[in-house]
Amino acid sequence: MALRSLLLLSKQKQTLKLGLGFRGLQTFSLPDLPYDYGALEPAVSGEIMRIHHQKHHQTYVTNYNAALSRLDDAMEKGDASAVVHLQSAIKFNGGGHVNHSIFWQNLKPVSEGGGEPPHGALGWAIDQDYGSLENLVQKMNSEGAALQGSGWVWLALDKELKKIKVETTANQDPLVTKGANLVPLLGIDVWEHAYYLQYKNVRPDYLKNIWKVINWKYASEVYQNEIAA
């Protein structure tokens, strides 16, 4: 992927917080969670949420900023091979930052409406394309469970076709690597770090329970905004 695309990709959501680094370079920072670490229990433990956010996501942010700083150096020196070498670190860590920034918004405590099914246009689209919400959940669970190694399962909107679809990405590849027209409505992290402390190796149980805290309101808002655009 072109460097320009990667940089655009990492800026795609306003949720990605920016600051200015010591050389005037833009840097990314860890977004706050919109709820307490323990607020998603019992579906996802507070310990998982705290480590996932404070350690894993923070590491992606730190390494993304470091790679972008090295990229700036390499560009300044005209070191073409160093620029190429940095692409994978930028994709992996930038993708990790993009994906987790979306993921936190895809979750919501039950007391605040987490797990409540989507209404309106997205609910209609799901019924039309998948028959029912239950069918969609089953498809995402089976694709998420079957994904080898680490990655993500997504409910995406193809904004050109104005159609929803289920996709998976490996490692920290963001959804846009599967198509420039794809907008993430909902992404579920199926890395072991997202569930192992609570669910051990039983990824299907994690996938079954996470729907109890899914923020369908967020997914519906993104869908409606993109459809109207």
Query: Is 97 annotated to bind ligand?
Result: no
What is the full DSSP assignment across 28-66? Answer: EEPPPPSS-GGGGTTTS-HHHHHHIIIIIIHHHHHHHHH
Find the shortest distance in angstroms from Cβ 103 to Fe ion: 7
Q: Which two tokens stand for residue 144?
A: 């998420």
Q: Which CB sits closer to Fe ion, 55 or 119?
A: 55
Number of residues binding to Fe ion, judged by CB under 5 A: 3
Site for Fe ion in 91-110 (CB under 5 A): none
Q: Which CB sits closer to Fe ion, 143 or 189?
A: 189
The residue range among 67-75, 153-161, 185-193, 219-227 that interacts with Fe ion, by the rule CB under 5 A, is 185-193
Stated as kind and residue range, the H or E segment containing 166 is strand 163-170
The number of beta carbons lying within 10 Å of the beta carbon of residue 162 is 12
Site for Fe ion in 20-49 (CB under 5 A): none
The residue range among 21-29, 148-156, 158-166, 182-190 that interacts with Fe ion, by the rule CB under 5 A, is 182-190
- Of the residues 143, 167, 173, 189, which one makes contact with Fe ion according to CB under 5 A: 189
- Note the helical H segments in 45-175: 46-51, 58-77, 80-85, 87-105, 120-130, 133-146
Q: Which CB sits closer to Fe ion, 98 or 137?
A: 98
Q: Which CB sits closer to Fe ion, 28 or 130?
A: 28
Q: What sign does the CA torsion over 217, 218, 219, 223 have?
A: positive
Query: Is 119 annotated to bind ligand?
Result: no
Find the shortest distance in angstroms from Cβ 210 to Fe ion: 12
The residue range among 21-29, 71-79, 123-131, 181-189 that interacts with Fe ion, by the rule CB under 5 A, is 181-189
Q: Which CB sits closer to Fe ion, 6 or 190?
A: 190
| Three-class secondary structure of residue 186 per DSSP | strand
Q: Which CB sits closer to Fe ion, 164 or 175?
A: 175
Q: Does 173 bind Fe ion (CB under 5 A)?
A: no
| Three-class secondary structure of residue 85 per DSSP | helix
The residue range among 30-38, 70-78, 134-142, 186-194 that interacts with Fe ion, by the rule CB under 5 A, is 186-194
| Among 154, 62, 142, residue whose Cα is nearest residue 103 | 154
Query: Is 189 annotated to bind ligand?
Result: yes
* DSSP β-ladder status, 182-189 and 26-29: unpaired
Calpha distance 15→105 (Å, rounded): 9
Query: Is 100 annotated to bind ligand?
Result: yes
Which residues lie near Fe ion (CB under 5 A)? 189, 191, 194
